[in-house]
Structure 1
């Protein structure tokens, strides 16, 4: 697929940007923005994710093709159809990303990306090997049913993710009028922050208009610097452990639950609701 070759060609660009950013912060006395254990963990997570992602696409493409055969419409060709596909995929990405913060089953995978206490360009590589199990691929199925060819859908998904590499940086300030239209480093910094002011906001992929439209936008402010990482810390730089720790906690708590309602909350409730249910469960056992 041509877009996969494009992303392969971009890999040296991504690595060069990471190297530049490391030098940039070291020259400014901020070597703490990067650490080798954290960066190597990010690289390991990226390699594992790429393998799982390729396998997942091989398994689910036949389902996309089946829906495409029963498509509802035939989108226009040329740039018009490409623009429609871009807008539709970016819209669905917003809801995938929002659900990944509000549904624990999805958060178990997505939390990997937020688990570092650092934010730099290498953080973009920090992806979960278990996204296919969480069901990320299911969010793009409507695109095939609407009439977009599966190969085009995969291409736009990958290009959307490639764009997001460049917003994982603290080196760039706010970008003026672009902040009203596009996801920017400032917007994404606040998304990665665990401060109460910022947490669970700014789900944009490429366009921030969805956040502004659906009330999930918050601006980064100079008077409240971002604190990165997850509310429940992950004290490991082992890529395998980082991938599974939240799944382990979720499944262990679910198996110990005493009612189906509690089990469903622990699996599919908001992460904070699941945490409260787990705390109640532990207190009940203690008494």
Structure 2
């Protein structure tokens, strides 16, 4: 399918990504001298791993974007609805695409099969602009969440363009260099403060702030938590590698190992599709300690 008439917003932005990552690294180095360990900064190994993941995502997307576009086109031709390309269509799409992103993001945290793809983005123990580029090499798990837009009559061209706009917006919020913004902005939009909490492994921040552009969905659906305590970035069980291949596929391998364990089908499916923290009941409860018999009384 010919996609040449669709504007490519991501590829031209790659030089901007590189320049701003370098500029942020220099700026954060200065801030660390002023604020100490309250800001984490960059390390070369971590940043290069993130850039490698981003380049891999671009390579995979050369193929996958065409497949996804064809899928949207097929659904678009099935429905009699047509939203057109006017201002009203763009405004509606802005809100609906952002809601689709919220659903995509939430499910990719709450179901392990989907988390295996998304965990890549959370695998860094640093939080900076390079972290935004640490993207999955298995984007195929996301297509279904935007499919309803095609059935509602939004053209595939509009859908993929708005997806790119959302992705570009989310780039700048991956930073510790920007503190809280004015209150109206913090209330309506996803900001660095909100997204820092999302990337943290603190117990108070697990599975919160799924927003793309608008934070209103988290406020409506009860998943909003403000940044209060200092975030500890990364996973609850962090990786010890900067190898891009292991970062990309480690959770799929872990799912395969767990699903291969002896047990009923429900247990195997649980390991695949339930919450990433789920364990079978017998495995999640410590074995009972047998009672200690009292020593006989001395005669």
TM-score, reference length from structure 2:
0.88
1:11 is the counterpart of 2:11: no
1:47 is the counterpart of 2:55: yes
**Pick from 50, 55, 77: which aligns with 2:85?**
77
Whether contact under 8 Å (2:259, 2:271) holds in the other structure is yes
- SS of 2:280's partner is helix
Whether contact under 8 Å (2:40, 2:127) holds in the other structure is no
Distance in 2 separating the partners of 1:5 and 1:95:
25
Whether contact under 8 Å (2:9, 2:165) holds in the other structure is no
CA RMSD across the alignment:
2.0
* 1:205 alignment partner in structure 2: 212
Q: Alpha-carbon deviation of 1:4?
A: 4.8
Distance in 1 separating the partners of 2:238 and 2:281:
16
Residue correspondence of structure 1 range 19-38 to structure 2 within 5 A: 19-28=22-31, 29=33, 32-38=40-46
* 2:295 alignment partner in structure 1: none
1:125 is the counterpart of 2:147: no
1:183 is the counterpart of 2:190: yes
- Which segment drifts farther, 75-84 or 115-124? 75-84
Q: Alpha-carbon deviation of 1:74?
A: 1.6
Give the direction of change, closer, same or farther, for the CA distance of 1:72–1:264 in structure 2 (3 Å limit): farther
Residue correspondences, number: 278
**Pick from 204, 229, 232: which aligns with 1:227?**
232
Q: Alpha-carbon deviation of 1:76?
A: 4.5
* 1:90 alignment partner in structure 2: 98
Kindly provide the CA deviation profile for residues 152-192 of structure 1, in whole angstroms up to 9, marking residues without a partner as x.
11111111111100000001111122011100000000000
Distance in 2 separating the partners of 1:22 and 1:186:
18
TM-score, reference length from structure 1:
0.91
Q: Alpha-carbon deviation of 1:8?
A: 2.2
Moved over 4 A (4+): 1-4
- SS of 1:41's partner is helix
1:174 is the counterpart of 2:180: yes
Give the direction of change, closer, same or farther, for the CA distance of 1:70–1:168 in structure 2 (3 Å limit): same
Q: Alpha-carbon deviation of 1:5?
A: 3.3
- SS of 1:33's partner is coil
- SS of 1:272's partner is coil
Q: Alpha-carbon deviation of 1:38?
A: 0.4
Distance in 1 separating the partners of 2:251 and 2:178:
32
Runs of 5+ in structure 1 lacking a partner? none
Larger Rg: 2
Whether contact under 8 Å (1:253, 1:278) holds in the other structure is no
Give the direction of change, closer, same or farther, for the CA distance of 1:231–1:279 in structure 2 (3 Å limit): farther
Distance in 1 separating the partners of 2:58 and 2:13:
14
* 2:257 alignment partner in structure 1: 252
Q: Alpha-carbon deviation of 1:77?
A: 3.4
Q: Alpha-carbon deviation of 1:2?
A: 6.1
- SS of 1:174's partner is coil
Runs of 5+ in structure 2 lacking a partner? 288-299
